[in-house]
Amino acid sequence: LLERAGLRMAENPEASADDRQSQFAKFQIDAPACDNCGSITVRNGNCYLCHNCGNSMGCS
């Protein structure tokens, strides 16, 4: 069992993947499509970041 910073590794990796997916989805609720490649972006502070191409939108 791997422990790091007082946290234990998940015993059921599929359940933790579902948890990560639901947390990630919260950042995509109002996210627009990337104007560069069309993928869904994720909120990154006041901006939106595309994990597909690395484009940042909404920041000046």
In contact, 19 and 28? CB cutoff 8 Å? no
pTM over 0.85: no
pLDDT per residue as tens digits for the range 43-59: 888 899 999 999 999 88
Which DSSP string do the residues of 15-58 spell out, in sequence order?
HHHHHHHHHHHHTTTTPPBPTTT-PBPEEETTEEE-TTT--EES
Per the domain annotation, does 14 fall within a domain? no
What span, in angstroms and rounded, lies between the C-alpha atoms of 10 and 29?
Answer: 26
Per the domain annotation, does 22 fall within a domain? no
Domain hosting 44: range is 30-60
| CATH (domain of 51) | 2.20.70
pLDDT at 18: 77
Overall domain count for the chain: 1
CA-wise closest residue to 55 among 28, 27, 36, 29: 36
